[in-house]
């Protein structure tokens, strides 16, 4: 396995009003291709912040972060946008689907950003909507779907451009236990069958249990008790 992500002594501070909040206080992270890694910890531990830095949607204050061997700390914004567009898929706690678009249109959107031709877009959208088991609901809008179905659409949207890395922030937080189990099973399957790298921030025990490796965090630092290969799919 090769390094996909390599972060050393990462620090990040946020300004909340006039108060500085140190979200990360010097943390190392290493993610190999094909891994299924979970950042776990209580609220305020910094797992979402670390996830955001790994997903290149936020910038580090200090430390170094390499993505596929390239230093991201001095990369211009335009290049970061390109990397996210081509190589990183996102899944969010609140699904964040466009409410006026159908499931099909939501999943198609990343391919339109990449300027794929219409025929190729159709092929990939169908493939991944079928993969997540929601092809027959492709014309429905998010308001016409359950939480589980919406999260499946979000997963398909994240996967359709065949990214190097899938970032998921609390993907099961708004789901019931049945749907949670389904989503976890799906992500494990994609990881094992297609070798997709998953990086997930969660405090859900079911998600933690499904991870290959868990990095425990507290107060913006690793708490020194990573669990490797906790539960391979």
Contact 186, 192 (CB under 8 A): no
Whichever of 94 and 144 has its CB closer to another protein, that residue is: 94
Report the candidate in 20, 50, 17, 36 with the shortest Cα–Cα distance to residue 194.
36
Q: Is 98 in the site for another protein (CB under 8 A)?
A: yes
Contact 12, 23 (CB under 8 A): yes
Give the C-alpha separation, 50 to 30, whole Å. 12
Whichever of 63 and 210 has its CB closer to another protein, that residue is: 63
Site for another protein in 152-211 (CB under 8 A): 157
Give how many residues touch another protein by CB under 8 A: 24
Give the C-alpha separation, 151 to 93, whole Å. 8
Token pair in block for residue 68: 């596929």
Q: Is 148 in the site for another protein (CB under 8 A)?
A: no
Whichever of 62 and 177 has its CB closer to another protein, that residue is: 62
Whichever of 61 and 226 has its CB closer to another protein, that residue is: 61
* Mode of pairing for the β-strands spanning 221-222 and 62-67: unpaired
Q: How far apart are the first and last CA of the chain?
A: 17
Q: Is 47 in the site for another protein (CB under 8 A)?
A: no
Q: How far is the CB of 101 from another protein (least distance, A)?
A: 10
Token pair in block for residue 109: 């959107």
**Residue ranges with strand state E in 126-212:** 165-169, 197-201
* Mode of pairing for the β-strands spanning 165-169 and 221-222: unpaired
Q: How far is the CB of 226 from another protein (least distance, A)?
A: 25
Candidates 51-59, 198-206, 214-222, 223-231; binding stretch for another protein (CB under 8 A): 51-59
Contact 174, 145 (CB under 8 A): no
Q: How far is the CB of 181 from another protein (least distance, A)?
A: 25
Q: Is 228 in the site for another protein (CB under 8 A)?
A: no
Q: Is 96 in the site for another protein (CB under 8 A)?
A: yes
Q: Is 57 in the site for another protein (CB under 8 A)?
A: yes
Give the C-alpha separation, 152 to 155, whole Å. 5
Site for another protein in 66-85 (CB under 8 A): 78, 81-85
Applying CB under 8 A, which of residues 7, 41, 63, 110 lies at the interface with another protein? 110
Applying CB under 8 A, which of residues 36, 39, 67, 90 lies at the interface with another protein? 90
User: Where along the sequence are the contacts to another protein (CB under 8 A)?
Assistant: 52, 55, 57-58, 78, 81-86, 88-90, 92, 94, 96, 98-100, 109-110, 113, 157
């Amino acid at each position: 396995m090769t390094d996909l992500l390599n972060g050393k002594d990462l620090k990040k501070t946020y300004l909340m009003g006039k108060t500085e909040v140190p979200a990360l206080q010097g943390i190392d992270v290493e993610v190999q291709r094909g891994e299924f890694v979970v950042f776990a910890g209580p609220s305020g531990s910094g797992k979402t912040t670390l996830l955001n830095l790994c997903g290149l949607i936020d910038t580090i204050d200090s430390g170094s972060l390499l993505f596929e061997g390239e230093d991201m700390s001095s990369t211009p914004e335009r290049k970061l946008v390109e990397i996210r567009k081509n190589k990183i898929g996102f899944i969010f706690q609140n699904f964040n689907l466009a409410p006026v678009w159908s499931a099909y249109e939501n999943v198609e959107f990343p391919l339109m950003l990449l300027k794929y031709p219409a025929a190729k877009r159709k092929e990939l959208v169908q493939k991944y909507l079928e993969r997540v088991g929601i092809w027959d609901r492709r014309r429905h809008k998010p308001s016409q779907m359950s939480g589980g179905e919406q999260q499946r659409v979000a997963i398909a949207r994240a996967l359709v451009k065949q990214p190097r890395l899938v970032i998921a922030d609390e993907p099961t937080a708004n789901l019931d236990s049945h749907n949670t189990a389904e989503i976890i099973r799906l992500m494990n399957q994609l990881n094992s069958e297609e070798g997709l790298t998953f990086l997930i921030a969660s405090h859900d025990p079911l998600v933690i249990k499904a991870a290959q490796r868990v990095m425990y965090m507290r107060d913006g630092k690793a708490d020194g008790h990573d669990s490797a290969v906790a539960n391979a799919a």
